[in-house]
Structure 1
Amino acid sequence: MEADQDPSNLHLHDDTLTQQIDRFISSHDPPDHILESVQCFSLLFDEEVVQYESGTKKWTLHETSSFLVSVERTSKLLHSLSRFQSQDDYAAAINQISGIHQRAMSFMEDEFKSILDDYQTSHDRDQKNLDEAASSPSDDQPQPDDQPVDDNSKDNFLGYSDDMISNLKKLAKGLIGGGHQTECSELYFFVRRNAIEHNLKLLPFEKFSIDEMQKMQWEPIEKEVSAWTKMFKDFTTSLLPSERRLVDAVFSSSSSAISDSLFGNLARIVLFYFLTFAEGVMMTKRAAEKLFKFLDIYEALRDSIPQVEKYLSDDWLLQLRSVASLINNMLGDAIFTIFGELENSIKADTGKTPVPGGAVHPLTRYTMNYLKLACEYRDTLQQVFREHKKIIDRADSATGSDWDPSSEEVTQNVDEDHGSSFQLQLGRVMDLLDANLEAKSKLYKDPSLSLIFLMNNGRYILQKTKGTGEMRSLMGDPWVRKRSSDLRSYHTNYKRETWTKLLQCLSHEGLSVNGKVMKPVLKERFKSFNAMFDEIHRTQSTWVVSDEQLQSELRVSISAIVIPAYRSFMGRFSQVFTPGRQTEKYIKYQPEDIETCIEELFDGNAAQQGKKR
């Protein structure tokens, strides 16, 4: 630079000045008069920093670019000057420009934090993002991977505008290039961590500690599990991917290790928050009614964790998989144990009081409704049972069995040949229920009522199974056919047990001698029929058949054998009696009366019980 050149007449970005500085930066030897150029550059740069610090100059996208160019040039200049720091003149220049550079860095840090903090407040935008994810149909109707995505609507960086992202990106590049990578990263993490933690506090579920959950009743925890499941899916499929896009955009000019580390730490906060709750639920005392919430948590972890894994670097991925796998394995063990307890609950039901009217037993209702709901989780339960079997097999191999832990075909072949482990468990539960009901049927003194009890419960089991596609598939057509055959046998045996003796009263055999009807014998026949039918009607009208179709089938089949026989008997022998009082005394029922009485059978307590389904 010419000696008579006045710095006040130059601009920070004057071509002559910048060229001299840039030549110095790229050279290995100090050119003549470079300290004068450095002095002039320092004064001009200091003036610009003062303008930004005082607010005289506003931070705009255009001004940002020119300022950041100066910052980058200053950083390189300091590096070049450091080669000559042993020389007093250069040391003084280094101290001067280093102080200005530090003030510029401080201003950029403030601006970086200010833009990051301008999140609307960020929790409002994040919450909107979360609400939109919750109401989006994407969970039920996943879009194909190759379907075009509208970047403006989907990738909105948690509400930060394009200009804000551009500024953040340039500031991050300048700060990192100026040796302030640690400060920049810490600022970013601090602001986004606060935004995430604020959102977590706003979630519509109460996060109990593990110690609190150990002392609580199940009902309030159960309600929170439903909220937890929904919010966990929303965070992992919406907000965390948005956080990844944001950090990648802001630090796109820098090493991916920076964004990997920042996102990993932010993701850990979210996942720790949710996984701690899941762990607390899992550590509560195991009970049958908890099975389905445990399954909900298991499915949420199984389905959502892979969504997060896509955005994590290898180091963070290993940590996440380790923790998630531990919790899911413990959940799987709890699920397996709880479902297995169903067998014990059936075995333990040894009550000696028969159900009034031969109705469906509460154990049957509970077990079948439990299995119906469990079969809605068919795929998950099959996975749980399969994984549990692998663990058992590995344990066996450790004790000297011939199982090859590297062979997946072992488990698959077992499943194909003998049904899945869950399917086999389901079959065992059904067999235990059958044995229990068979024992309970023997509590009835009346064999006919015992058969009605077996019919009621067998029908309920069959209808529940056929009405649940997953359970029907698991039990198989042969099982359904066997059940239907058993019900027909109960029906046939019931008719034989109840109505055979009655029909014997209507037999023509033994009523005539030499073609003449023996009136005393005929009178006894009618009296016996009347007495027996009265007793059957009185007793069996209090019995319960709550399944309308079964009730109708029974009544129709009874009518089909009783009414024709009675009509024929009455038509053949009614004229034997003297019309009037004698006829009325012995012929108590007309065929229509018999039919009406049959239609009143099995109505017992059905009205009071509301014909439970």
Structure 2
Amino acid sequence: MPRKGMRNIFFKSPSPTRMTPPSSPLHHTFSESLMEENIEVAQFIITKWDSSHDDNLVSLFSDKDEARQYLGSIKGLQKAMKYLVLHQSNSEKLVRAQLLMQTAMKRLQNEFYQILKSNRDYLDPESVSAHSSSRPSVSRSSFSEFEEEEEEEDESENENDSVPEVETASLAAMADLRAIAEAMISAGYAKECIKVYKIIRKSIVDEALYHLGVEREFTFQRIQKMEWEVLEFKIKNWLSAVKMAVKTLFYGERLLCDQVFSVSAAIRESCFTEISKEGALALFGFPENVAKCKQTPEKLFRILDLYEAVSGLWPEVESIFSFESTAAVRATAVNSLIKLGDTVRTMLMDFETAIQKDSSKTTVPGGGIHPLTRYVMNYISFLADYCGILSNIFEDWPFTVPSALPESYFGSPDSEGSISSPISVRVAWLILVMLCKLDGKAAMYKDVPLSYLFLANNLQYVTEKVRQSNLKFLLGDDWLINHELKVKQYAENYEKIGWSKVLASLPENQTAEIPADRVNDHFKKFNSAFEEAYMKQVSWVVPDPKLRDHIKISLARRIIPIYKEFYESNGGVQMKKEMWGESFIRFTPDDLGNYWSDMFYGSRSSGSVSSSSRGGGRSH
């Protein structure tokens, strides 16, 4: 177009190597006529879309060509005003141009407001953040440069053909808002533009936070007075809200600010800060206030949930709230992590103290699993699910084991399965503290065999909990192998002591020739010892099926071969056929296994031990 070429001639900066010729009257006349033309064009277009006219209810931006012409006329008007300020500052033309600019800005302000309101669904943070994840930035506004060729617009339209309708509408709305913002800021009407944007967008963000359950009144005093059930419900709500708030709401709002006000970094920061800062401070202040409240060991897992949520979102928080004016949001998130970490460390120390202070004197019937064992191992196995978070919390918190521990407890230092990480050492220490308490509780049993069975049962429960949870990754194979060996040692001690009288009732050499009266005496002693051991131990328990089978098989291998050899070497089979043999031969080798099969279930027989000839087992 000729006009564009002429502007390039008359408004090009002079070359520094050549003298600028003095202005000529002809030059002034032509420049003035050009400026007057700009004002005339602007007056025609701006008046046409004057928002004070009732019949102009159609959006200016519903027609791209009309919008381009309107913004182009504003750009020309600005140039005319700059010229007049320099050369004819007292001219009526300047007053006229200023009035036109005011009218245009009022129209753009209304358009800005209407686009924000009518495109609310397309400009909601979820939509903006969703399509911006695949499109890092919105395309440059088609109204920024009004001399662009139509070809570029056609290319842009072709690119949008494959884009979903919602995304296309969202991108178009952002482009329109950006074009208006650029025009108003350039004309010196930034304040009016920003005011509209802040009011509308802040209401949207505040409403979204309200629907997510983020309350501004969550003060420390209020939280401290809440019953735990109520507070736990609030924590669950917060955990479900925080990810949506950060990754969608604040992220989408930051993207929208960056795109609409891309022309000014200061305005971008100002708008985003005023829109989101208050809500973000309320969001991240909640976990910090929760951490300050009085805690009990049972609440630890919710504290860990809060820590995990904040730490997991920290990269996004740091990026989204990167402005200097939003430093308070970052600081609040960091303070929440610090307070939560301190609380976790304190709660674990309190948990250890609670184990050490357990003073229950009641023994578990039958040597079963102690409530302390169940509670501690269930607690610690849940802790193992947070091993990554706990590692972060304890990374800079060195732990010195209060007493000397055998090297075998933590594994060989040179082995891959040795315990070395801070959280692994702490978990191993907590289990050891509990096992030491169990040693003291085992001593409360009057029967020494029962105390060993108690230790075997409880340590078996510990090892199974470790094997079936993430504890196995924290403690390693060496720890498991060492403690499973201890279970077998406890079981062996139970067998040796609990059935020692039964074994002692038989001669050392079962095949040696023994006088008949001594044979009868050995049988009677065996009967008495076996019945005494059985009747005492039939009410004892071994809850774990594997350990129960292991003990039964071990007892059978320990006693039956010896008894069978003595039984067969001394005519036991023949004597059982004769009536007189029943008085001192009460058990066949097969009977022993039948009796053991009923043991370790915790049910005491209501009768007495009887021979197989009277029913093949116990009389019920």
Q: Deviations over 1:413-468 (max 9, x none)?
A: xxx99833323322321221121111010010000100001001111112222333
Match of residue 407 from structure 2? none
- Are 2:246 and 1:236 equivalent residues in the alignment? yes
CA contact (8 A) 1:495 1:558 kept: yes
Matches of 1:426 and 1:73, distance apart in 2: 74
Q: Deviations over 1:190-232 (max 9, x none)?
A: 2221111111122267777133321112223223333422332
TM-aligned CA distance change 1:423 to 1:16, over 3 Å: closer
- Are 2:183 and 1:180 equivalent residues in the alignment? no
Matches of 1:508 and 1:496, distance apart in 2: 16
Compute the RMSD of aligned alpha carbons: 3.9
Q: 2:534 aligns with which of 529, 534, 537?
A: 537
- Are 2:210 and 1:201 equivalent residues in the alignment? yes
Match of residue 300 from structure 2? 291
Structure 1 unmatched runs, 5+ = 1-13, 393-415, 607-613
Matches of 1:154 and 1:293, distance apart in 2: 42
TM-aligned CA distance change 1:509 to 1:424, over 3 Å: closer
Matches of 2:440 and 2:367, distance apart in 1: 13
Matches of 2:511 and 2:72, distance apart in 1: 124
Match of residue 431 from structure 2? 430
Q: Deviations over 1:252-304 (max 9, x none)?
A: 3x123322332344342442232022223222212212222212221221121
TM-aligned CA distance change 1:201 to 1:155, over 3 Å: farther
TM-aligned CA distance change 1:43 to 1:375, over 3 Å: closer
Percentage identity across paired residues of the two chains: 27
**Cα distance, 1:108 vs. partner?**
0.8
Match of residue 525 from structure 2? 528
Aligned length: 545
TM-aligned CA distance change 1:205 to 1:533, over 3 Å: farther
CA contact (8 A) 2:394 2:422 kept: yes
TM-aligned CA distance change 1:183 to 1:244, over 3 Å: same
TM-aligned CA distance change 1:317 to 1:43, over 3 Å: closer
- Are 2:348 and 1:347 equivalent residues in the alignment? no
Match of residue 94 from structure 2? 94
**Cα distance, 1:160 vs. partner?**
4.8
**Cα distance, 1:380 vs. partner?**
1.6
- Are 2:266 and 1:250 equivalent residues in the alignment? no
Q: Which moved more, 1:438-447 or 1:40-49?
A: 40-49
TM-aligned CA distance change 1:199 to 1:426, over 3 Å: same
Residues 185-584 of structure 1 mapped to structure 2, 5 A cutoff: 185-203=194-212, 209-210=218-219, 211-252=221-262, 254-316=263-325, 318-389=327-398, 419-469=420-470, 471-507=471-507, 517-519=515-517, 521-573=518-570, 574=572, 577=575, 579-584=577-582
TM-aligned CA distance change 1:363 to 1:208, over 3 Å: farther
| 1:224 partner amino acid | K
Matches of 1:247 and 1:36, distance apart in 2: 37
**Cα distance, 1:511 vs. partner?**
11
CA contact (8 A) 2:51 2:107 kept: no
TM-aligned CA distance change 1:381 to 1:569, over 3 Å: same
Match of residue 83 from structure 2? 80
Match of residue 397 from structure 1? none
**Cα distance, 1:558 vs. partner?**
0.6
**Cα distance, 1:157 vs. partner?**
9.2
| 2:187 partner amino acid | G
Matches of 2:515 and 2:574, distance apart in 1: 8
TM-aligned CA distance change 1:348 to 1:553, over 3 Å: same
Matches of 2:541 and 2:214, distance apart in 1: 45
**Cα distance, 1:336 vs. partner?**
0.9
CA contact (8 A) 1:209 1:277 kept: yes
CA contact (8 A) 2:39 2:77 kept: no
Matches of 1:168 and 1:370, distance apart in 2: 55
**Cα distance, 1:317 vs. partner?**
6.2
**Cα distance, 1:335 vs. partner?**
0.8
Q: Which moved more, 1:428-437 or 1:212-221?
A: 212-221
Matches of 2:39 and 2:323, distance apart in 1: 48
**Cα distance, 1:127 vs. partner?**
5.9
TM-aligned CA distance change 1:212 to 1:584, over 3 Å: same
CA contact (8 A) 2:284 2:329 kept: no
CA contact (8 A) 1:555 1:598 kept: yes
CA contact (8 A) 2:281 2:329 kept: no
Match of residue 116 from structure 1? 116
Q: Deviations over 1:363-422 (max 9, x none)?
A: 1111112111212222221211123459x9xxxxxxxxxxxxxxxxxxxxxxx9983332
Match of residue 615 from structure 2? none
CA contact (8 A) 2:254 2:320 kept: yes
**Cα distance, 1:581 vs. partner?**
3.7
| 2:585 partner amino acid | I
**Cα distance, 1:67 vs. partner?**
0.7
Matches of 1:236 and 1:152, distance apart in 2: 31
| 2:443 partner amino acid | K
TM-aligned CA distance change 1:597 to 1:192, over 3 Å: same
Q: Deviations over 1:13-65 (max 9, x none)?
A: x9989989x97999999648769768745753553243784344642221111
| 2:222 partner amino acid | E
Matches of 2:578 and 2:69, distance apart in 1: 124
Q: Which moved more, 1:219-228 or 1:342-351?
A: 219-228
Matches of 2:114 and 2:103, distance apart in 1: 16
Q: Which moved more, 1:367-376 or 1:49-58?
A: 49-58
Residues 42-191 of structure 1 mapped to structure 2, 5 A cutoff: 43-45=43-45, 47-50=47-50, 53-56=53-56, 58-59=59-60, 60-83=63-86, 87=90, 90=91, 92-121=92-121, 126=125, 160-191=169-200
Matches of 2:36 and 2:573, distance apart in 1: 144
- What secondary structure sits across from 2:463 in the alignment? helix
> TM-score if structure 2 supplies the norm length?
0.77
- What secondary structure sits across from 2:499 in the alignment? helix
Residues 8-23 of structure 1 mapped to structure 2, 5 A cutoff: none
TM-aligned CA distance change 1:296 to 1:58, over 3 Å: closer
CA contact (8 A) 2:128 2:256 kept: no
CA contact (8 A) 1:157 1:243 kept: no
| 2:267 partner amino acid | I
TM-aligned CA distance change 1:316 to 1:600, over 3 Å: farther
Q: Which moved more, 1:556-565 or 1:201-210?
A: 201-210
**Cα distance, 1:358 vs. partner?**
0.8
CA contact (8 A) 2:303 2:344 kept: yes
Matches of 1:376 and 1:82, distance apart in 2: 71
Matches of 2:166 and 2:338, distance apart in 1: 35
- What secondary structure sits across from 2:395 in the alignment? helix
Matches of 1:477 and 1:168, distance apart in 2: 62
Q: Which moved more, 1:443-452 or 1:27-36?
A: 27-36
Matches of 2:475 and 2:277, distance apart in 1: 43
